[in-house]
Homo-oligomer: A and B are copies of this chain.
Amino acid sequence: MYEGVVQDLIDELGLLPGIGPKSAQRIAFHLLAADGGDVRRLVDALTEVKARVRFCEICGNVAESEECRVCRDPRRSTAVICVVEEPKDVVAVERTREFRGRYHVLGGAINPIDNVGPDDLRIKELLTRLADGVVQEVILAMDPNVEGEATATYLARLLGPMGLRVTRLASGLPVGGDLEYADEVTLGRAFEGRRVVGG
């Protein structure tokens, strides 16, 4: 429909997650009209990321050198490992400023529909890290959905016999949320996990 190179760009943009054909067209025409410098910066950012970013050899987080920022930081405790699905989950946990241990990024969750099994995740690497007995606690911080729960259950069974403390993040009402609008599963979890606060 469009002159060749414009259609090529629309096609390539349409392959990105969450970008449909209409958004791809909108972005392509935005870039066509944009300043050459803006497009240059986007191209440079893409090129740099592919050239410089790799994955931390220890934890699997994104890194610009062999080890990521967290694994390089000597102030972070080596006694606790927080296991997450993706590098972006590391960022989410870091934002809380609650956690001062290390991470382990699985690279996904068990998902039979997408054909992702335990062997496709960085579970062997996790077991290797646990072998020397330094780690005291493993926090399972998978997403609270079917795939995340399945992965957490699998890991809990695998790590249980190793004599470590294995914990899972609490489920319950989101802070700032409204009880009336909570779905029944979340509200059920909130009841299950209720705490004594007085009396």
Interface residues of A (CB under 8 A from B): 1-6, 8-9, 11-13, 15-19, 23, 25-32, 36, 38-43, 45-50, 52-53, 62-64, 68-69, 86-88, 91, 94-95
Instruction: Tell me whether A9 and B43 are in contact (CB under 8 A).
Output: no
Determine which of B3, B27, B43, B48 lies in contact with A47 in the assembled complex, contact meaning CB atoms within 8 Å. Answer: B43
Question: For the complex formed by this chain, how many copies does it contain in all?
Answer: 2
- Give Cα A17 to B34, complex, Å: 11
Given contacts A3-B69, A39-B50, contact A26 B18 (CB under 8 A): yes
- Give Cα A31 to B50, complex, Å: 8
- Give Cα A31 to B53, complex, Å: 11
Least CB distance, A2 to chain B, in whole angstroms = 6
- Give Cα A8 to B42, complex, Å: 9
Instruction: Tell me whether A32 and B49 are in contact (CB under 8 A).
Output: yes
Instruction: Tell me whether A88 and B25 are in contact (CB under 8 A).
Output: yes
Instruction: Tell me whether B88 and A52 are in contact (CB under 8 A).
Output: no
Instruction: Tell me whether B49 and A95 are in contact (CB under 8 A).
Output: no
**Apart from the given pairs A3-B62, A5-B49, 20 other A-B contacts in the complex at a CB distance below 8 Å:** A1-B95, A3-B63, A3-B69, A5-B48, A5-B64, A6-B62, A12-B45, A16-B30, A16-B31, A17-B26, A17-B27, A19-B27, A29-B86, A29-B88, A31-B46, A31-B50, A32-B87, A39-B49, A42-B46, A43-B47
Instruction: Tell me whether A45 and B8 are in contact (CB under 8 A).
Output: yes
Give the chain B neighbours of A29 by CB distance below 8 A: 86-88
Give the chain B neighbours of A95 by CB distance below 8 A: 1
Instruction: Tell me whether B43 and A94 are in contact (CB under 8 A).
Output: no
Instruction: Tell me whether B9 and A18 are in contact (CB under 8 A).
Output: no
- Give Cα A63 to B16, complex, Å: 25
Give the chain B neighbours of A88 by CB distance below 8 A: 25-26, 29
**Could you show 27 A-B contacts with beta carbons less than 8 Å apart?**
A1-B91, A1-B95, A2-B62, A2-B91, A3-B64, A3-B68, A5-B48, A5-B52, A5-B64, A8-B45, A9-B48, A12-B45, A15-B38, A15-B42, A16-B30, A18-B23, A18-B26, A18-B27, A28-B49, A29-B86, A29-B88, A31-B50, A32-B49, A32-B53, A32-B87, A40-B50, A42-B46
